[in-house]
Structure 1
Amino acid sequence: MPFYQQLGTMPQKKHVTYRKEDGSLYWEELFSTQGFSGIYSTLYHIHQPPAVESAKELDIKLIEPWAEAPRAPVHFFTERAPKGGDILSARQYTLYNSDCALATASFSELDDTFYRNARADEILFVHHGSGELHTPYGVIPFSDWDYLVIPRGTIYRIENLSEDNQFFVIECYAPVETPKRYRNEFGQLLEHAPFSERDFRRPQWREPVDQTASQRLLMKTGDRVFEYVLKNHPFDVVGWDGYVYPYAFNIKSFQPIVGQIHLPPPIHQVFQTSGLVVCNFVPRLFDFHPDAVPAPYYHQNIDSDEVLYYVDGDFMSRKGIESGSITLHPGDVPHGPQPGKTEASIGVKDCYEYAVMVDTFKPLHSTRLVERIWDENYIRSWLG
């Protein structure tokens, strides 16, 4: 997020002595990206950040590839996936490539363990649930249909989570940004963007936690998982400033762009990385040309695989979709509305639908979980 933020207390200049009341030092940490060339934040800790009592690799297999998966349109029901687990084991991975991994999760065993994804920015879409995201930067309360964007390397813990919860998880191996075409050369969102800086919720201040008791941290780095035992509580930050921090954005804050005739999916975009884009489908007025066909035209974007996570509403181009359904349409084959949906859209003035779309620029692979929860007849649904 290219917006400067400052919370807590810190010295006027960087890299100078900053002392506690007893005369000892606070410990400065630079949290940087792209070496020292990208955006960064500076944090001031009560205790030394590298203090670790032990580290060991855990024998955890996160993704089971479905090698025989068809390269074809697929519909599967995430509500039928296993539920429950801790911050890592609850993640039910469905699709992945070298740029991302997609999962759903219903957390039921959250404890005092901390978590860090060392290699991926995470986008947690809160389909159902409320709680608080705690990080060294502060606290972000969240509720239904919030996106939580967590930069890679950030230690976090979800607290006070409601029992009935469901998340759509997008792990991105390149930095998550707002779309470049919506920003000026200084990083400020332009007037024609479908959201503004006011829509993003940054961390709220939380008093530093000064605890020297051992703390458990699970760290995911690629497809490996390590258990660290930290000497001190990681939320001991007395102040920080910079451009790298977690934030929240609610899908209902997205202002849809509409036109006289049907506009292509980039108008729905909310996030980007070098390997994918994330789009919102939200309630909106339909196209207002007298002969407009509001349903999307058939298309084949040969450089993208299209994933839709269905949140709520009546989806104008699909039949048999449930809340929590996911469809995958690979770039290898054309796709579009199912029979009858194009005709039914003509003359309709608006729609009520919420969905999250992920378009990747490399082919996606399916896991064995998809094999267990997919609709085998979906590929034949265009036969009428």
Structure 2
Amino acid sequence: MSHKPWINLPIREGKHSRQAHCDLPDNTYERELGREGFYGPVSHMHHQHPPTGWVSFEGPLSPHAFDLNQLPSTVDSPWGAPVILKNAETNIRLWTIAKSMSHLVRNSDGDELLFLHEGQGDFYCDYGHFPIVEGDYIVIPRGTAWRIDTASSLKLLMIENRNGSYRFPDKGFAGYNAFYDPATLDHPRINSTFKQQQDENTWEIHIKRLDAITKLTYPFNPLDAVGWHGTNTVVRLNWRDIRPLISHRYHLPPSVHTTFVGQGFVVCTFCPRPIESDPNALKVPFFHNNDDYDEVIFYHKGNFFSRDHIDVGMVTFHPCGFPHGPHPKALKKSQENPATFTDEVAVMIDTRHPLTVTEAAHTVEVKEYVHSWKSPEGATS
């Protein structure tokens, strides 16, 4: 018995394609109207003009782009890094650390997901040690004490899961090992490197609870475990171990790239992959509204094939209900001279409840982003 609350009743009306994202009627632009973040009921409109072909924009439902490279965020503590976007279920930060942390931290508000955008170092926590490198995700369960040692500057995207634990996505008929095999997840080790950092010096743990900081001082290093067993631990995944689901005849929705599931949001990873080769299949993300979720994308590296004037280290934010899709030059290129491969790496966060843009984000906002779709019929940028 299905427990889905919606009625699935496919209807065809007027001039339409036989399937979504393929064989579009001549001189039309497809727009997807979907529910529940690509998992629910969905319809596909065929328009005579680009759904993003506005000539003016007024009101609060505006797309945003932020250049996080301009943030003055070099601080010793992750809790000192500026929050960029937030709601009751998540805080999204960019944290730059210039040197090894001088204290431990513990989040008692939720799980933490770190994505290492730049640099390398060593991660120490209650459970042990592992090295970290650019492109690593580090999932830190609530209540874990941790710190990072580094000989150079690091930049980390931080995604807090305030009301639940991070979970695997439902991989459905693709199977347990699809997208990324859980066997690729690494856990901290009680190795010689971990044991060597254990000492009898004074250490502090900074505990965040209800966004206030409490400092505990110990006359020894609290990371003094000699062993452990159980199922609750830190894990690490690098984007290079992700093998994205692809189809040469159909542009798959972002949901197939779901990497972790939080409470009220999902985290997806866009990795290098072949572009659809079927001549009648869409080769860039389709126009859509995403009518139940806010959409955030952090651009890590590569050439972002559906975007124009977006660079590494930037973030875009498309609020729920805002129609968006490929920028005009990207759409035109995909139709006239499509690429065969995309080398982009990006992290997407889709939230079920609305996000608030903070003052810190407004200070690095790219004001002209809202106008970046303006062009006659999607011909030029």
Q: TM-score range by the shorter chain?
A: 0.7 to 0.9
What amino acid does structure 2 have at the position aligned with 1:253?
Answer: D
TM-score of the superposed pair, with normalisation by structure 1: 0.77
Deviation at 1:213, TM superposition (A): 4.6
Asked if the contact 1:147–1:249 (Cα under 8 Å) also holds between the matched residues in 2, the reply is yes
Verify: 1:223 aligned to 2:184, yes or no.
no
Aligned identity (percent) is 30
Asked if the contact 2:258–2:268 (Cα under 8 Å) also holds between the matched residues in 1, the reply is yes
> What is the CA RMSD across the aligned residues, in angstroms?
2.0
Asked if the contact 1:104–1:167 (Cα under 8 Å) also holds between the matched residues in 2, the reply is yes
Verify: 1:199 aligned to 2:187, yes or no.
no
Q: Counterpart of 2:267 in 1: which secondary structure?
A: strand
Verify: 1:118 aligned to 2:104, yes or no.
no
Verify: 1:285 aligned to 2:270, yes or no.
no
Deviation at 1:381, TM superposition (A): 1.3
Measured against aligned partners, the alpha-carbon deviations of 1:200-221 in whole angstroms (never above 9, x if no partner) come to: 1111223657655542111111
Out of 235, 245, 257, the position equivalent to 1:257 is 245
What amino acid does structure 1 have at the position aligned with 2:106?
Answer: R
State the partner residue of 2:369: 378
Gap regions ≥5 residues in structure 2: 1-58, 376-381
Asked if the contact 1:97–1:364 (Cα under 8 Å) also holds between the matched residues in 2, the reply is yes
Q: Counterpart of 1:220 in 2: which secondary structure?
A: strand
What amino acid does structure 1 have at the position aligned with 2:209?
Answer: T
State the partner residue of 1:147: 137
Deviation at 1:309, TM superposition (A): 0.2
Structure 2 vs 1, CA of residues 101 and 220 (structure 1 numbering), >3 Å: closer, same or farther?
same
Structure 2 vs 1, CA of residues 181 and 248 (structure 1 numbering), >3 Å: closer, same or farther?
same
Asked if the contact 2:119–2:153 (Cα under 8 Å) also holds between the matched residues in 1, the reply is yes
Deviation at 1:231, TM superposition (A): 4.7
Asked if the contact 1:90–1:107 (Cα under 8 Å) also holds between the matched residues in 2, the reply is no
What amino acid does structure 1 have at the position aligned with 2:140?
Answer: I
TM-score of the superposed pair, with normalisation by structure 2: 0.77
Deviation at 1:340, TM superposition (A): 2.4
State the partner residue of 2:285: 296
Verify: 1:320 aligned to 2:309, yes or no.
yes
Counterpart Cα distance in 2 of 1:288 and 1:300: 26
Gap regions ≥5 residues in structure 1: 1-68
Out of 332, 345, 357, the position equivalent to 1:343 is 332
Structure 2 vs 1, CA of residues 109 and 142 (structure 1 numbering), >3 Å: closer, same or farther?
closer
Out of 330, 338, 344, the position equivalent to 1:353 is 344
State the partner residue of 1:234: 222
What amino acid does structure 2 have at the position aligned with 1:190?
Answer: Y
Structure 2 vs 1, CA of residues 210 and 321 (structure 1 numbering), >3 Å: closer, same or farther?
closer
Counterpart Cα distance in 1 of 2:159 and 2:93: 7
State the partner residue of 1:274: 263
Counterpart Cα distance in 2 of 1:183 and 1:220: 40
Asked if the contact 1:307–1:357 (Cα under 8 Å) also holds between the matched residues in 2, the reply is yes
Structure 2 vs 1, CA of residues 314 and 212 (structure 1 numbering), >3 Å: closer, same or farther?
closer
Out of 74, 89, 103, the position equivalent to 2:93 is 103
Counterpart Cα distance in 1 of 2:310 and 2:270: 15
What amino acid does structure 2 have at the position aligned with 1:252?
Answer: R
What amino acid does structure 2 have at the position aligned with 1:324?
Answer: G
Asked if the contact 1:87–1:110 (Cα under 8 Å) also holds between the matched residues in 2, the reply is no
What amino acid does structure 2 have at the position aligned with 1:76?
Answer: F
What amino acid does structure 1 have at the position aligned with 2:307?
Answer: R
Counterpart Cα distance in 2 of 1:205 and 1:350: 41
State the partner residue of 1:170: 159
Measured against aligned partners, the alpha-carbon deviations of 1:43-77 in whole angstroms (never above 9, x if no partner) come to: xxxxxxxxxxxxxxxxxxxxxxxxxx943100010
State the partner residue of 1:43: none
What amino acid does structure 2 have at the position aligned with 1:276?
Answer: F
Q: Counterpart of 1:237 in 2: which secondary structure?
A: coil
Q: Counterpart of 2:117 in 1: which secondary structure?
A: strand
Aligned residues: 310
Measured against aligned partners, the alpha-carbon deviations of 1:322-350 in whole angstroms (never above 9, x if no partner) come to: 11000000012111111121121234322
Q: Counterpart of 1:382 in 2: which secondary structure?
A: coil
Asked if the contact 1:84–1:109 (Cα under 8 Å) also holds between the matched residues in 2, the reply is no
Q: Counterpart of 1:71 in 2: which secondary structure?
A: coil
Asked if the contact 2:109–2:211 (Cα under 8 Å) also holds between the matched residues in 1, the reply is no
Task: Return 337-346 or 276-285, whichever deviates more.
Answer: 337-346
What amino acid does structure 1 have at the position aligned with 2:148?
Answer: I
